Amino acid sequence: MRLVPMRFRGVTWRHNPREITFESDREVHELHAPFAGGAVQDTGRKNMLVKGEGELFGADCLQQFARLLSLFREGGSGVLAIDGVKPFHAVFESLKIVGEPKPDILTYRFVFREVRNESDGPPAAYTAGAGENLWDVSYRFGIVIDTLVALNPQVKRPDILTEGEVIRLC
């Protein structure tokens, strides 16, 4: 089986990085109310970090690194394609040489940060189902509860939504 080379914005790595890690976190807050206990609010996932380390091989390893550095300096987002992972939009956040370059080999580290498109976000509105409340909607779409309250002044009691009630999400 042959691995597909890593690609970003038209640049293909000659050799895949030796090590790649994917860091995915969620934004979670614990809310405390006096004499009422606490609640955990999940306000959605953070953008994923992709970190890695690898080597550039060959007499042109410094030129290979210069191409990556040029790509890094250009800035902006692009599609990051890594073998076995669905391609996604990302920005090139960090690029470093590790140690002293040796003849025909250069070790480097990198970080890409996922950029979610607006199309990845919530729809403009949501129709409440039976037994739902505004906290359910907040959790489902990863929107801070205070934002939902501000967007929906018609909701008098966030703890009780009427089935079929339309809730603005943005």
Is the Cα dihedral 135, 48, 79, 92 positive or negative?
positive
Encode pLDDT of 30-49 as tens digits: 877 777 777 777 777 788 99
- Of 67, 59, 69, which is closest to residue 97 (Cα–Cα)? 69
Closest CA to 50 of 110, 10, 116, 117: 110
pLDDT band of residue 108 (cuts 50, 70, 90) is very high
SS3 72: helix
Instruction: Quote the mean pLDDT of the chain.
Output: 86
CA angle 71, 76, 80 (to 5 degrees): 70
- 20-39 burial, b at 16+ Cβ within 10 Å, e below that, comes to beeeeeeeeeeeeeeeeeee
